[in-house]
Amino acid sequence: MSEFLVIQVGQCGNQIGGTLWPSILQEYRILPSNHPKNIKTSITGGSDKEMKFTFNSFLHIPTKINPSSLQCLNLSELQENDIKARVICIDMEDSVVSRFSNSELGFLFDKRGIVKNYPGSSNNWAEGYCTHGSTFKNKIFRIVTKYVERCDSLHGILLLYSMGGGTGSGLGSFILEQLDEQLPNIERFVCCVYPNGSEDVITAPYNAMLATQHLIRHATCVFPVENRALQEVCDIKRLAGSNPTTGYGSSIAGTFQDMNSIVVKLLLHVTSGSRFSGQLNFDMNEINTNMVPFPKMKFLSSGLSPIGIYDANNLSSSSTREKNFWSACSKNNQLLQIDPMDDTNFLMASMLFGRGEYTLTDIRNYVNKFQRKAPLLEWSKKCTKVGLCSVPPIDSKFSMMALFNTSSTKEIFRHISQQFEKLLRRKAHVHHYTKVPGFDFDCFYECQNTIADIVDVYEEAGTSSSNKEKRILSNINY
């Protein structure tokens, strides 16, 4: 099974990572040594077939250790065996990365994989991309090269960052571009957080537009999430407080922690096929082939059920499993503020992936109904990628993830473009960008045009009739 490297950039990327890694350990049933629920498990399978997993997909095991000799791991055994998260943590300020590298799980993060600085990128994409990009390029790529060389079969790099700040969006864009240039055969998956529009960072629309242009050019596949959708889910589900078993060394705002736990559910689900066995398993590499029909249409919307922290599904019956399936496709459970089943749009690709107690018969039954109900295109109608992973998430007996490549993705771009235009019309805050060496004012127009093109393509797709559809498809086949 393939190996993955995670690169966390900026506050948001690192805070999401701060919830991701303890959750990955929990899914391997590795809990703190003194944790009351500590369950000792053979990491090479042993008697419990369901728990067979490829431990090294996201964790680095030193070559001197024979994986089959690792039997019952808890945190202290991980530490003794020098097992590390395969992650590079980058932030241009110190506080977030230091907070979790000083925590109980600090030993999991190789200090040589941490890049930090002071005092940040001032919410300015140009600072992140131009200034920190050129200053830290060699350092970051020395580390990336080391991590890549340590892998036997590195398949992909998963980048985590927000689109609204300066470091994640700017330096994240720079790293993505360099990865494309230097390691073109390694897939670049990006999970990025779009700002919600009325919030803390006034320059967020500039940053998000500039970073989106880089995603279109350099990512293999993107899992965008929107803070306004995450916030809405949190409000609806009334999530409250922190999750004591997954946060570590954490004092981040309760709402961000709740919102991040939803993003982490997505990441756990989307990578579970690379981490565990399953009757109809899929590896991350299959997502790109199945879900990205045209090079620029690489943004996948995702829906999850259960979605809230305290929303566990522990009563497994055929009807509760089916209800859960339809929830994952519903508007309320999407991580973008869109409705993928709305028939004024259409789906170019779809993927349904169950974990835990779902059976092949369940999935076949849902796919039949789904294909009759969903706004699929003539050529995508009969093909829905499905997956089953036998290991459920930690807090539920079963869960469902629905990934869609939908024409309604244009709504995120349209939303952010409108805010961008409001600022740019007045040239508000523009001088902060143009004073950065290497940034040219025309970059604003360039990204505006790129995103307008993509909105047009999606928009036409949304009003497709079969003739129009043929025209669109010939236009978008870049």
Residues that bind ligand GTP (CB under 6 A): 10-12, 15, 92, 120-123, 162, 164-168, 193, 195, 199-201, 204, 227, 230, 252, 256, 259-260
Q: Phi, psi at residue 75, to the nearest 5°?
A: -55, -40
Shorter beta-carbon distance to Mg ion: residue 120 or 306:
120
CA dihedral 208, 214, 217, 221 (to 10 degrees): -70
Closest residue to bound Mg ion by CB = 11
Residues 6+ apart with CB under 8 A from 119: 92, 93
**Least distance from Mg ion to the Cβ atom of residue 91, Å:** 6
Retrieve residue 307's tokens: 């979605």
Contact (CB, 8 A) for 34 and 104: no
**Least distance from ligand GTP to the Cβ atom of residue 165, Å:** 2
**Least distance from Mg ion to the Cβ atom of residue 163, Å:** 13
**Least distance from ligand GTP to the Cβ atom of residue 35, Å:** 25
Q: Phi, psi at residue 251, to the nearest 5°?
A: -135, 25
Decide which of ligand GTP, Mg ion, none touches 340; Cβ closer than 5 to 8 Å per partner kind.
Answer: none
Shorter beta-carbon distance to ligand GTP: residue 43 or 451:
451
Decide which of Mg ion, ligand GTP, none touches 444; Cβ closer than 5 to 8 Å per partner kind.
Answer: none
The residue written with tokens 């890549």 in the block is 148
Closest residue to bound ligand GTP by CB = 165
**Least distance from ligand GTP to the Cβ atom of residue 255, Å:** 9
Contact (CB, 8 A) for 144 and 88: yes
Shorter beta-carbon distance to ligand GTP: residue 73 or 233:
233
**Least distance from ligand GTP to the Cβ atom of residue 466, Å:** 40
Provide the residue type at 101 as one letter.
S
**Least distance from ligand GTP to the Cβ atom of residue 201, Å:** 5
Residues 6+ apart with CB under 8 A from 214: 173, 176, 177
Q: Does 207 bind Mg ion (CB under 5 A)?
A: no
- Chain positions 97 to 156 lying near Mg ion, rule: CB under 5 A, are 120
**Least distance from ligand GTP to the Cβ atom of residue 398, Å:** 26
Neighbour order of strands in the sheet with 3-9: 114-116, 87-91, 3-9, 154-162, 187-194, 221-226
Of all residues in the chain, what percent are helix, strand and coil, respectively (each to 5)? 45, 15, 35
Decide which of Mg ion, ligand GTP, none touches 273; Cβ closer than 5 to 8 Å per partner kind.
Answer: none
Scanning 9-17, 224-232, 371-379, 403-411 for contacts with Mg ion by CB under 5 A, the matching segment is 9-17
Shorter beta-carbon distance to Mg ion: residue 166 or 205:
166
Decide which of ligand GTP, Mg ion, none touches 204; Cβ closer than 5 to 8 Å per partner kind.
Answer: ligand GTP
Report in angstroms the alpha-carbon separations of 220 from 265, 272, 286, 299, 434. 21, 19, 12, 9, 30
**Least distance from ligand GTP to the Cβ atom of residue 131, Å:** 11
Q: Does 11 bind Mg ion (CB under 5 A)?
A: yes
Residues 6+ apart with CB under 8 A from 69: none
Bridge-based pairing of strands 59-60 and 84-85 is: antiparallel
d(CA 114, CA 90): 6
Shorter beta-carbon distance to ligand GTP: residue 16 or 352:
16
Shorter beta-carbon distance to ligand GTP: residue 224 or 462:
224
Q: Is residue 187 helix, strand or coil? A: strand
Shorter beta-carbon distance to ligand GTP: residue 301 or 345:
301
Scanning 4-12, 201-209, 371-379, 393-401 for contacts with Mg ion by CB under 5 A, the matching segment is 4-12
Retrieve residue 378's tokens: 């003539």
Residues interacting with Mg ion, by CB under 5 A? 11, 120
